[in-house]
Structure 1
Amino acid sequence: MPVSWSIAAEWEQLDAGSPEERACFSALGIKAHDLWLTEGNDVLANRLRQAPLLSAYHLAEWLAWNWWRLRWEPRSNSKDWAYAHRLTTIGSGYIWPNLTIFSDGERTALISKPTTERPQTPFRYITDHAVILPASEFEAGIDLFLSQVLERLSWAGIEDSNLQTVWSGVIAERKTPALVRTRKLEALLGQDPDSQEQLVDQLVRDIEDLGLSGVEELAAEHGQSGKLLTGDDLREAAQRSGFDASPRDVIRLPATEVPKRSGLTPAYRAGATAARALREHHRLGEGPLTDVQLAEMAGVVRAIIPDVRGGASISFALDEKPTQGRVVLRSKWRTGRRFELARLLGDRLARPPSGALLPATRAYTYRQKVQRSFAAELLSPFEVVDAMLGDDYSMENQQDVAEHFEVSPLTIRTLLVNHGRLAREELETEFETAAA
């Protein structure tokens, strides 16, 4: 497999430290898409270096220990998230790059930021860049680097290191389907291996009724809210605040027009493509969708949108039979409920359900990002939005367009950011807040 990123180590001499550290001291460079993410100013040598002097052993150990979370855990509000995703937390006396790594399940982000210039600091990183690559290529790059470090340890006659123990365990887990399921759920929860067996056991119990993919999204939601919703919680909310739905009556999209899920395709593009295909296939035109249209398309009664009491901490559809189910919307605002209902519709179309539960959460998984993009494009087609705004991107003009399409102004702003009309302030702009 061609790998678009790499961690390269050129071995150097070190006279102090543990045997592992001395053997794996190196000029260590991280490169992605021909860009050095570790470039910086070496104050002592008075020159730029792409590969600063670091401990390849400590980096490899950190990567091995956090492999599952790096591979599956998206951005979250978990209090210890940074320790599993930011190289600056490695420590051990080295000046590590200000590099953050996380995944949405399909694609992995590597975000490099400059470090602050301080007196007496011999190295300052200067790269300010974000790289996105398929998660499969991220895996391949880690495997290659870890094998390089292990070969170096073997060359130095070092056996039974902690790295060898941890990494051999990860390799064995990756070959065992039941352990893959467990480790992935732990990572989505924002937890280290074997640290939250009770939570994982609860999720596993719900898989039979709700489906694996829906339960994985509940695990990822835990990282945002700190609360784990169980099947019992969802059924109670569906009974209390849900509306009758008929999954069979949901509008359809030919399989040939459903975007393929791929690490090569950004989530926002996959969702927008599905929304445009739906409008074109069913000749919905370019204007705003009414509440009646949206409800009919989603297989629910119109009353679900103006009922602004709010139902649960997340929006979701719970299918009981092909002709029977319940839909719960979270928002207490009409524009929010329209957006959430469109998300659930997009979840059915862009990713046909493989279980009874279709959740719309605050998590940053690929599936959730596809939902948000689908909803934004379906409710406010970008080409029309762009034409209405012209060259006037003022907040007042954005507000007028948002009112025309009955969406929030932030939905319009996010469309403009994703299409390059406005500067992107963050790697990902969160559509979820547009619901408010």
Structure 2
Amino acid sequence: MRAVKYFTLAASWPAARDEVADISLRVGDQVISRIADIEKRTVRDYFRASSIGLALWLADNWWRLRWETIRDARFPSVDWRLRHELNSASGGALWPPVMIYSVGGRIAFAPSVGKNVVGGPQSYFDFKIGMVSAEEYERELDAFFESVLGHCARMADGETLQNLIEQIATERRDPELAAWRRLEACLGFDPDDAPDEVIDAFVKLDAVAGEDGVEEAAHAQPGAGSAQSLGMAIEAARESRVEIDLSLADDLERNWNLPRYANPWQMAEAAAEELRALIGVPRGLLNHTVFGDLFKARWNDLKSATATARTLPYGARIGDGRKYHAALQTIASHDRRFELARQFGDAVWRRDASFGIVSRSKTDRQKFQRAFAHSLLCPFSDLQRVVDVNDPTAEAMKMAAKRFGVHPSVVRNQLVYKGYLPFENKNDETEAA
């Protein structure tokens, strides 16, 4: 029996000599291409459009779709939308209102900004953000390209598409060129558009930050100033007097009973629960002494240390894979606890990394850090014992935050991501996926 794929992008051609195809797009159990024809009173799971037009758009933007993330889901830039919103493709078709972008090891399919799913003779059904592994995404696009070329190679633009796909394949096979293209995309540049001095600066910093650290930095602050910011973050970490030992992260067995397509929040909650069991504090507040012990440090030292990254776009740590100097951004006690918890979470996500950053970006690595800090400092299993989750008042959430030593937003976020409070904006929804 053939296994059902989690992600499908398929085309079929009603006419043998026509590039127009019936195209379906599905992620998990969501059919993103489901459309209602109001006049005919029918519903179908495909849209009709130029298969070459779609293939050209996917190929033209291959590197940015695969590697560039989103900074602000509420107000993405015009340039970003042109590269990531399917309805920016040419051809005059009624394209599905979907944004496609990377979060690292997964690809997101999210409703477009300002999408219109009602009105007109045809309208798409609403859908929620869906995620697919990057490997499966690449395989399915390769299969789609092959299918389109098999049908349309001799048609108008068929040769153009063939040449473009061959160029992408060549770039992907060359490790050095692929790394260059990846970094350009993370920075928000089209191929060959990134300033050479920026890429060269990152190449030099790779020896300190590593490939993963460089790409996280590029996601955290895209654009021409990204390498300079990374250099300053490295220097701030080296100068910091905040010394933390993250070796306890290696003691987690990670035998988490999670679904196949677990998201960072599910993984982080399981990791935080295991860590609490490991240190013998399965419930309640982690007092300052216990919290400091996680890092083999005194809380007073951690609290009083200068925030050497306070004016930088993100914080960072640098060390030998176990002991680190951390450049922190926060000053208030509850914020510093949260930031340090994120540093510990990053050590869980990326074992033995000698460098890591704590940023506001939307990559899975940063999502995991934030979710880990939420669950470690304010476990939902504890929260629901002190707050009526079905009717959480502002005062009750404020009191709970004080009880757990966190900012009130941590309590609210826990309730949002568990479905007890609504998402306030697209950023909230993106964070939970």
* Superposed pair shares fold, TM > 0.5: yes
Describe the shift of the 1:335–1:426 C-alpha distance in structure 2 as closer, same or farther (beyond 3 A). Answer: same
Question: What is the letter of the counterpart of residue 35 of structure 2?
Answer: G
Separation (CA, whole Å) in 1 of partners of 2:111 and 2:312: 37
* Corresponding pairs, count: 418
Question: Which ranges in structure 2 are unaligned for 5 or more consecutive residues?
Answer: none
Name 1:334's counterpart in structure 2: 333
Partner of residue 167, structure 1 = 165
Is residue 311–residue 331 contact of structure 1 (8 Å, CA) maintained in 2? no
What SS does the corresponding residue of 1:429 show, helix, strand or coil?
helix
Moved more, 314-323 or 196-205: 314-323
Q: Superposition pairs for residues 134-149 of structure 1, below 5 Å?
A: 134-149=133-148
In 2: Cα distance, 1:357 partner to 1:173 partner: 28
TM-score w.r.t. the length of structure 1 is 0.85
Displacement after TM superposition at 1:313 (Å)? 2.5
Letter in 2 for 1:319: G
- Rounded Cα–Cα distance in structure 2 between residues aligned with 1:207 and 1:151: 41
Separation in 2 of the partners of 1:180 and 1:224? 19
Deviates more, 1:421-430 or 1:127-136: 421-430
How far apart, in 1, do the equivalents of 2:284 and 2:127 lie? 40
Between the aligned partners of 1:313 and 1:136, the Cα distance in structure 2 is: 30
Q: 1:2 to 1:64 in 2, by over 3 A?
A: farther
Pair 1:272-2:272 in alignment = no
Distance 1:222 1:62, change over 3 A: same
Deviations 1:356-404 (A, max 9, x none): 3111111111111111111111111110011111343112111111111
Return closer, same or farther for 1:64/1:260 CA change in 2, 3 Å cut-off. farther
1:232-285 per-position Cα deviation (integer Å, ceiling 9, x unaligned): 312432355x224154x6434425237699983211111121111111011124
- The question of 1:213 aligning with 2:212 is answered yes
Alignment equivalent of 1:62, drawn from 53, 57, 60: 57
Does the 8 Å CA contact 1:27/1:51 hold for their aligned counterparts?
yes
Alignment of structure 1 residues 240-255 onto 2, 5 Å = 242-247=240-245, 250-255=247-252
Cα shift at 1:6 = 1.7
Preserved contact between residue 224 and residue 363 of structure 1 (Cα < 8 Å):
no
CA 1:193–1:144: 2 relative to 1, 3 Å: same
Provide the C-alpha distance between the structure 2 equivalents of 1:126 and 1:409, rounded to a whole number of angstroms. 35
1:312–1:328 contact (8 Å) kept in structure 2: no
Distance 2:35 2:297 in 1: 56
Deviates more, 1:48-57 or 1:277-286: 48-57
Q: Give the whole-Å Cα distance in 2 for the aligned partners of 1:159 and 1:220.
A: 34
TM-score of the superposed pair, with normalisation by structure 2: 0.86
Task: Quote the residue 2:374 is aligned against.
Answer: 376
**1:37 correspondence with 2:32:** yes
Structure-1 residue corresponding to 2:13: 11
- The Cα of 1:123 is off from its aligned counterpart by 2.8
3-state secondary structure, aligned to 2:357? strand
Shift of 1:204: 1.4
> CA 1:129 to 1:376, structure 2 compared with 1: closer, same or farther past 3 Å?
closer
Q: CA deviation at 1:205?
A: 1.1
2:183 is the counterpart of 1:185: yes
Aligned CA-pair RMSD: 3.1
Query: Does residue 1:288 correspond to 2:285, yes or no?
Result: yes
SS in 2 for 1:140: helix
Seen in structure 2, the aligned counterparts of structure 1 residues 116 and 4 have a Cα distance that, compared at 3 Å, is: closer
Asked if structure 2 preserves the Cα contact closer than 8 Å seen for 1:203 and 1:230, the reply is: no
Amino acid in the other structure paired with 2:283: E
Shift of 1:45: 4.1
